[in-house]
Amino acid sequence: MRKMDTVFVGLMLFSMFFGAGNLIFPPFLGAEAGSSYWLAMTGFIVTGVGLPFAVLYAVSLVKGGVQTIGNRVHPVFSTIFMVVIYLSIGPFLAIPRNANVAYEMGLKPFLSNNSNAGLILFLFTVCFFALAYAVSLNPSKMEKYMGRWITPTLLLAMVILCAAGFVKLDAPLQPPSADYQSGAFSTGFIEGYNTMDALAALAFGIVILTAIQQRGVRDRKHLTNYTLKAGLIAGTLLALVYVSLGLIGGRMAAAGSFENGTDILSAASTLLLGESGTALLGFIFTLACFTTVVGLTTACGQYFSNLIPKVSYKMVVLLVTLVSFTLSNLGLNQILKVSVPFLVTAYPLTIVLIALTFFNRYFKNSKKVYGSAILFTGVFAMMDGLLAFGIDLGPIQVMKDNLPLSSMGLQWILPAIVGTGVGIVISNFSNKPSTGDEGEVKAS
C-alpha cells in the first residue's frame, strides 16, 4: 500500500472519530481546568486518544476482530455485546444525536424566533440523511470522499478558528474549578470517556481493516502495521485539535461563565470572527457530525450484514438511516435515558476485553480467564447502568461506594483484577487445555 494511501485512510479515520462530542468536551475542560490545564488535558488525551488507539490495535491483531475477541468469553456474549454496542453508538443514540447537533449549530442560529422549528428540522434531516445514505452505500469510496476531500476541508476550517483564537485571545488561564483543584489528571482521564471513541473504535475497526484490505493487503502482520500507522495519524490530529480547543476554552474562561463547550465555542467564534465566525463554527459542526454519521452507518452496515447474511449491506444501511432519521425528529431525551445506561455498562467491559487481548499469551487464551474477568467486571458495571436508570440499589450501593476508586467511577477495576486472578487460578487447576480461537492468527 502506498504511503499516501495510508495517509488518506488515517484522515478518513480521524473524520469518523471527530464528531460533536469531540468538539464540545475539550473547550469546557480547558475552561474548568484553568491553570491545571496541561495536566488535565494529558489525562483527557490518554483516554480520548490512547484508548481508542489501543482498541484499534487489539482488533487488528486478531483474525475476526472484535467478534473473535468476544468469543473468547462465549459466542452468545460476543453477539449480544456487539449488538448493544452497535445499536447504542449507531441508530439509537450517536447518529441521531449528531444529526441534531448539526442542526442546532449549523442551521438554527440563523433562523428567526418565529420559524417553524419542527418543519425545518424535518427538512434538514431529510437532506442530511439522504446525503449520508448516498455516501454510505459505497464504503469502497469512503476513503476518497472523507480522506481526500471532506477531512482536509474540516481541518482547514479548524485551523482558521484556532489560529484566530491563538492570535486574539490572550487572557491568562484562570484558577481551576473545584473538580480540578486536586487530581486534575484523573479528572481529565475520566472526562476522556465522554468522547465514547473507545466504543466507536470497536465499530470502526472493521471499516479501517476493510479499507486496507481493499488495497490488496491480506497478511495479518501488514494489516496490523497499516492500522497502526493510520491510527497514529488520526490520533495525532485528534490530540492537536483537543489541545487547541482546550486552550481556547481556557482563555475564554476570563470572559464569563459557560454551561458547556458549545456555549464556549459559540461565544469564541462570534468574538473572534463576528457573524462569519458563527457560520464557520456551524460549518465545522455540520461537517464533523456528517463524517461521524457516515462512519457509524457504514460500520453498522458491515457488521449486521455479516451477522445476518440474508440481509444485504444496502438494506442494513437503509434501515439504520430510516431509524436514525425518525429518532432525530422525535427528540433525544427519552433515547438518552435508555441508551446511556447501556453505554455506562459497556465501557468497562470494553476496556477489560482489550486489556486481556494484549496479555492473551500469558494465560494461553483461556476462556476461564476471559469469562471470570468479564463476570466480575460486568456485575459492577451493571450497577452503574442500573443507577443511570435511576434504580436505587440500597445496601449494594453502600458496598459499591466503599470500593477503591469508586469516587472516580472506576470501582470496577479491582473486581476486574480479582476476576482475572480467579480465572487464572481455575485455569491452572483445570486439566483441560485451552483450544484457542479456531483459525485465529496468534498475534495477541
Distances (CA, A) of 186 to 24, 39, 305, 355, 409: 19, 9, 40, 19, 11
pLDDT tens figures, 229-285: 999 999 999 999 999 999 999 999 888 888 888 889 888 988 888 888 889 988 998
Tell me, which fold does domain 3-341 have in CATH?
Amino acid/polyamine transporter I (1.20.1740)
Q: What pLDDT, in 10s, does the model give residues 150-179?
A: 788 888 888 998 898 888 888 889 999 988
Q: Where are the alpha helices (DSSP H) in 137-219?
A: 142, 151-168, 178-181, 184-191, 197-213
- By CB atoms closer than 10 A (0-12, 13-18, 19+), residue 295 is buried
Over the stretch 82-128, which tens digit does the pLDDT of each residue have? 898 888 888 988 898 889 888 888 888 888 776 787 889 899 999 99
Determine if the pTM surpasses 0.75. yes
Name the band, by pLDDT with cuts 50, 70 and 90, for residue 332: low
Alpha-carbon span 119 to 102, nearest angstrom? 16
Map out the domains of the chain as residue ranges: 3-341, 359-444
